[in-house]
Chain A
Amino acid sequence: MKTSLVSQRGKNWLASIPNQIILIFFSLLAVFPVYYMFVTAFKTRQTWLHNQFGLPIPFTLQNIADAFTKGEIPLWFGNSVIVTIASLVVSTAVSALAAYAIARFRFPGRAFYFNTMIALMVIPPAVLILPLFVLMVNIGLINKLPSVIIIYSGLLIPFSVYLLVSFFRSLPPELFDAAAIDGCSNLDIFWRITLPLSTPALVTLVVVNALFVWNELLIALVFLQDEAAKTLMPGLTLFKGHFTVNEPLIMAGALIATVPMILLYLFGQNLFVEGLVAGAVK
C-alpha cells in the first residue's frame, strides 16, 4: 500500500516544491544539534573557539581518545550495557507471562489488573524515588547495579504488558484451541506457539525499552552515586562537571554515549516507528 501511495505522490514534483522547502527547513533544525555534537567532538579547543559551527578542520581524534582514558567512560559504558540487557530480559519475561494470562484466561480481577497497568504508565518516577532509595539502602543495594535493574524492570512492565496484550489478542484463537485439544498445556502453548508467533512484537518492544533504559537519568543519578557504579547518563553529567572548560571533550563523551542508539536506529528505524505507533489508538 505504501509503495502505491509514494508513486502517486512522485508525479507532481513541481507542486511539491513549497512542501520540500518547509521539510528541508525542519530537517535542518532536526539535524543541526547532532551535526554540532559530531563536528565539535573532532575539533581541538582552539579550533572550536574560532570556528564553532564549521567542519572540524584540522581534524583531531584526541578528544575521543581522552574521553576513553581521562574519565570513567569505558566503565560507565559497560555498566549501561549490563543494566540495559538485564532490565530488558527481566521486564520482557515477566511482562510476557502476565500479558499471556490477561489475553488467554478469564479470571476474577482480570480487567482490574489490566486497568491498573494502564494507569501506572502515567505515574512520574520522581514520585517513587524517595521510598525506593530508603528501601535500597536498607537492603544494601545502593550503588549496586541490581538496584536500578529492579526499578527499570518494574517501570517497564505497564507499557510492555499493554503492548503484548494487544498483540496476543490479535493472534488467531483457533491455533490455541487446536493445540489445547492436542493436549498441550497452557505453558507449552505460551512457550511453543504464542512467543514464536510474537517475535515481531517482542523485538519492537525490546528496542523501544532499550532506548528508555539506555537514556534514563533520574533513577541512575539517585541510586548509583559512586563514580565506579554509574551508568553513562549520570556519568556524562559528572564528566561535564570535571571538564567544564573543554567543550569538545564533553561533546566527545556525549557522542560516545549516543553511538549505540544511533546504530540501533540506522539498522532498525522501522522497529522504533512500529513500537511507538503500536501503543497508539487506531
Chain B
Amino acid sequence: MLGKKPSTGTISRKIEPYLYLAPATILIVLVFLYPIVDILRTSLLQNTASGIKTFGVTNYRLVFDDPVFWQALGNNGKLLFSVPILTALSLLVAILLFEHVRGWLVYRGIIFMPYILAVPVVGMTFVYLLGLNGIVNTLLRGAGLGFLAQDWLGSVKWVLPSLSLVIIYREMGFGVVLFLARLMSLEQETLEAAAIDGANWWQKHVYVTLPQLSGVIEFFVVVELITMLSWVFAYVFTMTGGGPGFASTVMEFYIWKHAFAFRSPGIASALAVVLLAVTALLIVLQLRLRRRSLEEAA
C-alpha cells in the first residue's frame, strides 16, 4: 500500500479513486458484465405456442438432450489430459537448460519462438505437416513404418491427439520460459548440498528442485487448464472445422456454430452458460493463486 494521508476526508477526496476507475469500469461492464447477464437471460427465454416469449428451461433441456453437446464437453475434457504432458515436457527442458548447457540463451530463444506465432498460422502450417503427404507420414514411411501413416486430422481416432500435439507445440515455449525464470532465482546452495550428499540427477530434482517450483507449476497448470477450456477455438477452426463429424468439436466452437451458423441464440446462450459454469471452478483456483502471489510480493 502506497502511503495515503489519512483524515483529509473532503467529498472530492472520497470519490477520487472512483474517477480513476471509471473508464476501465465502463469497458468492463460493456465487454464482460452486460454479455454475461444477457446470456443468462437469453438462455432462459423460450417460445410459446402463442408466440409470446416466456421464461423457462427449454433451452437447457435441449442442450442436455443433445449428444453433440456432451461430445463437445468431453472433447474439452480430453484436451485437459495434454496439460500434464505439457507440464512435464516443459519442466524437463527447463531443467536441462538450467544445468550445464552452453548456448542456453540460443536454445531458449528457439524453443520459446512457437509461442509468438499466431494460432491460425500454426494451424494452417500443421494442416500440411499432418496431411497424407506431410512430414509425419513421410518420416514414418522412411522408417519403414508406412502402415502407421494416415490422415491425422481426418481420423476420428487421431484428430484430438493431433490437436493436443499442436497445442503442446505452441504452449511449451511459455512453460519452459516460466520454469527457467523460476529456476534461476533458486538458491544454488541446496542443489549443491544435495549433490555433495550423493543424490543422483533424478533424486536431486524430484526432492530438491520440484518442491521449490511447486508454486509456479501450480500457476502454469491453472493457466493451461484455462487455455484448454477457453482458448482452443482458433486451432479447431483452422485445422479441423470441428470434424470429422463432431470428433474435434469443442464447446467454444459449438457455441459459435449455434450463434452464427444455426442462428439459434437460445441454445448458444445456454451452451455459453454451461461453459461459464465449468470455468467457474477455475476462477476459484485463479483467485487463490494470484492473490497469494501478490501478498508474497507485497
Q: Which residues of A contact B (CB under 8 A)?
A: 1-2, 5-6, 9-13, 15-16, 19-20, 22-23, 26-27, 29-34, 36-37, 40, 52-53, 90, 93-95, 97-98, 100-107, 110, 113, 115-116, 118-135, 150-151, 153-155, 157-158, 161-162, 165-166, 168-171, 173-174, 176-177, 180, 186, 190, 211, 214-215, 217-218, 221-222, 233, 236-237, 240, 247, 250-251, 254, 257-258, 261-262, 264-265, 269, 272-273, 276-277, 280-282
Contact = CB atoms under 8 A, between A and B. Distances in A.
Contacts of B93: 22-23, 26
B103 to A, nearest CB: 8
B112 A272 contact: yes
Interface in B253-298: 255-256, 259-260, 265, 268-269, 272, 275-276, 279, 282-283, 286-287, 289-294, 296-298
Given A34-B117, A97-B20, A150-B31, A15 B287 contact: no
B101 interface: yes
Contact of B36 (A128, A258, A262): A128
B21 A124 contact: no
A123 B286 contact: no
Given A122-B283, A273-B112, A280-B216, A240 B177 contact: no
A272 B96 contact: no
Contacts of B184: 1-2, 5
B75 to A, nearest CB: 14
A281 B18 contact: no
Interface in B192-221: 215-216, 218-220
B297 A169 contact: yes
A269 B25 CA distance: 32
Contacts of A129: 35, 255-256, 259
B69 interface: no
13 contacts: A9-B99, A15-B100, A22-B93, A120-B28, A124-B276, A130-B259, A155-B31, A173-B2, A176-B2, A176-B3, A177-B5, A272-B115, A282-B297
B265 A130 contact: yes
Contact of A131 (B17, B42, B128, B260): B42
Given A36-B128, A124-B252, A280-B216, A173 B114 contact: no
A52 B138 contact: yes
Given A10-B102, A30-B110, A118 B121 contact: no
Given A29-B169, A94-B23, A131-B42, A250 B124 contact: yes
Contact of A126 (B99, B120, B233, B292): B233
A166 to B, nearest CB: 6
Contacts of A27: 107, 110-111
B38 A131 contact: yes
A269 B112 contact: yes
B285 to A, nearest CB: 9
Interface residues of B, number: 107
A100 B182 CA distance: 28
B173 A107 contact: no
Contacts of B109: 269
A168 B275 contact: no
Contacts of A40: 128
Contact of B16 (A105, A119, A215, A276): A105
Nearest to A18: B96
Given A104-B2, A277-B178, 16 more contacts: A13-B102, A23-B96, A26-B107, A26-B172, A30-B110, A98-B20, A104-B17, A105-B17, A118-B287, A150-B30, A154-B27, A157-B27, A166-B294, A166-B297, A186-B16, A217-B233
A190 B229 CA distance: 38
B159 interface: no
Contacts of A31: 110, 113
Contacts of B14: 107
B116 interface: yes
B68 to A, nearest CB: 16
Nearest to B97: A23
Contact of A280 (B112, B231, B234, B293): B293
A100 B20 contact: yes
A113 B20 CA distance: 13
Contacts of B282: 122
B49 interface: no
Nearest to B183: A5
A126 B256 contact: yes
A16 B97 CA distance: 10
B145 interface: no
Nearest to A97: B20
A257 B123 CA distance: 13
B220 A280 contact: yes
B251 A126 contact: yes
A250 B124 CA distance: 9
A222 B138 CA distance: 37
A119 B117 contact: no
